[in-house]
């Protein structure tokens, strides 16, 4: 580096781009290439889901199984 003591890839944010921006641009480009190679159309992503409270703790059957495992009873995986 001819006597330069700093990091070789140090960049000024004012006059150059950041390494994070370069990484993100590269990731976006590769994702677009992957979508194109798989033949996926470029459209909106639709997420269908619903959250609801399912309860706390084990169900009665799962509690029995957990108690059995805790006590070391039964042949598990046999």
Q: Quick one: pLDDT at residue 64?
A: 92
What is the pLDDT, as a whole number, of residue 29? 94
**Mean pLDDT, residues 56-66 taken together:** 89
Q: Where are the domains of the chain?
A: 8-40
- For residue 57, what are the contacts with CB-CB under 8 A and spacing of at least 6? 63
Q: pLDDT (tens digit, 9 = 90+) per residue, 1-40?
A: 566 666 666 656 666 777 788 899 999 999 999 988 988 8
Model confidence, pTM: 0.40
């Amino acid at each position: 580096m001819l006597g330069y003591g700093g990091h070789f890839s140090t960049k000024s944010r004012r006059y150059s781009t950041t390494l994070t921006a370069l990484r993100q641009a590269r990731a976006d480009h590769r994702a677009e290439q992957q979508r194109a190679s798989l033949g996926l159309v470029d459209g909106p992503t639709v997420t269908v889901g619903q959250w609801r409270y399912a309860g706390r703790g084990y169900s009665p059957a799962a509690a029995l199984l957990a108690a059995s495992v805790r006590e070391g009873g039964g042949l598990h995986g046999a």
